[in-house]
Structure formats: structure tokens, C-alpha cells
Amino acid sequence: MKRKPNSFRERAGKILFSKRRIRSNNCWEWMGPRISKRKYHDYGLVCFGGKRYLAHRLSAQIFDNFNPRSVLQVNHKCDNPPCFNPKHFFYGTQADNIRDSMRKKRLPQGETNGFSRLKEWQVRFIRTNYRRGLGGLNQERLAEMFGVSPTTVGFVVRRQTWKNFS
């Protein structure tokens, strides 16, 4: 007769492994239901013991002793949301995750950023002409020309926005 798993870890591990597909990059991909909400798009969803868990957070909890009430996030080195391989995790803040995304060039930048009000040629024009001070082109005048605020122009000039653009 098979022994029934009794601890939380054993039961959760059994559920996780029952829905696991190992990919060529060694991702343990969750093959059960996934969340389709924008913020958590494509993360594995585990219903277990009357509660709902994100597969990667449950995996971190049972394999790495991650505290589920921690303010830290369980982030993916592999950039694969359904992966729950604890070797593919790093723990950090939202800022750490964003820095990782930027370093890997996964976040839209420049014109591809949906919040951008300026085009690359406009940024180039602002930086070039503000430096030269041609024709009284101060921040207010440049802002007027391109339909943005003087603050936006100031951010562009000081490279607080469009940092990676020459």
C-alpha cells in the first residue's frame, strides 16, 4: 500500500511534479491552469488545500524555504513565467526585477514604450538645439513645439528619460 504524503511540502511537491514538463533549458514548466490577468500573465496557478498559489511562489516556498509573507518577489532568471524550477529564481524587489528586465532589454524603450510622447528625431532635435541655444529654444519653447511639458523637455535634456538614446 502506498503511503499518502502528509506534510504540506510533500503534498504540494507531488502536485507540482504531476503537472511538470521539463524543457530543453531545464525549465520546469507548469502544465496546469495559468493566470491570464495582465499583471500575472501566463504564471502557473495551483489550487491546493482550498487556496490558490502561483506555481513559482509555491515552488520557492517548498524547495527554498521562501517565506510566503516576504516582501520580496520570486523573479525568474529564465524569463519564463510558467517555470517553477527553483534554480531559475532570484529573490528581490520590484526594482530588482525591472533592472533585470532592462539589462536583458525586455522592456519597451524609446518610441516602442506606449507612454512615450516623443519620437527619436524629436529627442535628437531637443538635445542638439537646447545645447546650442539656437533661436531662443529654451525648454518652454521646445515643449511648445512638440506638445509636451517643459518638465518632459528637461528630463530629455538631462537624460533622465531616453537615457540609452544618443
> Residue 116: what pLDDT?
74
Q: What is the pLDDT of residues 46-92, one digit of tens each?
A: 998 899 999 999 999 999 999 999 999 999 999 999 999 999 999 99
Sketch the domain layout of the chain as residue ranges.
8-103, 110-157
DSSP letters of 38-89? Answer: STTTT-BEEEETTEEEEHHHHHHHHHH---TT-SSEEEESS--TTB--GGGE
> Residue 91: what pLDDT?
96
Q: What is the pTM of this model?
A: 0.66
Report the SS3 class of residue 125.
helix
110 has a pLDDT exceeding 90: no
> Residue 40: what pLDDT?
66
CB-neighbour burial class of residue 63 (10 A; exposed 0-12, middle 13-18, buried 19+): middle
**Class of 8-103 in CATH:** alpha beta
